[in-house]
Amino acid sequence: MRFYEFQNLKAQKPLTPGQARIKNLKDQVKRAQSAVKAERARQKIQAGQQDLAKVESSHSKKSQSYKTIYKMNNPYTSWMVAGTYGNFNDALASALRKKKSGALVVRVADKNRTVVYSG
C-alpha cells in the first residue's frame, strides 16, 4: 500500500453483542438467498437434462428411413424408386450407383419426403 492509502483507514471498534447478532443474521440471510438461487439453477438444469433425455430417447426410437428415387432417360418421366434404406449412407450409395449407370437425376429423401441429397 502507498502512504496516502493509510490515511483513509479508520480503526474499527468491536461490535456490541446486539450488533454482532444483527450482523450474523444479515450474513445468514445472504447465504440463504445465494443457496436458494443455486438450488433453483440446479433444478432448472436437471429439468432441462430430463427434457433432453426424453427428446433423445423418442428420436432414437423412431427408425429413420431414406428412399432413393431417380429419372432415367427423360426429365419429364415419373420418378422411379431404387429402394428404401435404413440409413443415409446406403441410400446415397444406391443413388450414386444409379447416377453412374446413366440416370439423369437422382434424389435421396427421408421419410418426411424431404430431399436430403439431389444430384
**Do the bridges between strand 115-118 and strand 66-71 make them parallel or antiparallel, or are there none, so unpaired?**
unpaired
Distances (CA, A) of 23 to 14, 27, 35, 95: 12, 6, 18, 76
Please say whether the beta carbons of 81 and 68 come within 8 A. Answer: yes
3-state secondary structure of 113: coil
For residue 36, what pLDDT is reported?
A: 96
The pLDDT tens digits of the residues spanning 19-65 come to 999 999 999 999 999 999 999 999 999 999 998 888 777 665 556 88
Q: Of the segments 23-27, 83-87, 112-116, which one has the largest average pLDDT value?
A: 23-27
Longest dimension (CA), the chain: 98
Q: What per-residue confidence (pLDDT) applies to 55?
A: 79
Burial class (CB in 10 A: 0-12, 13-18, 19+), 110: middle
83 forms beta bridges with: 68
Alpha-carbon distances, residue 40 vs 36, 43, 48, 54 (angstroms): 6, 5, 12, 21
The domain spans of the chain are 15-62, 66-118
Picking from 5-9, 12-16, 19-23, which range would have the lowest pLDDT averaged per residue?
5-9
The predicted pLDDT at position 4 comes to 67
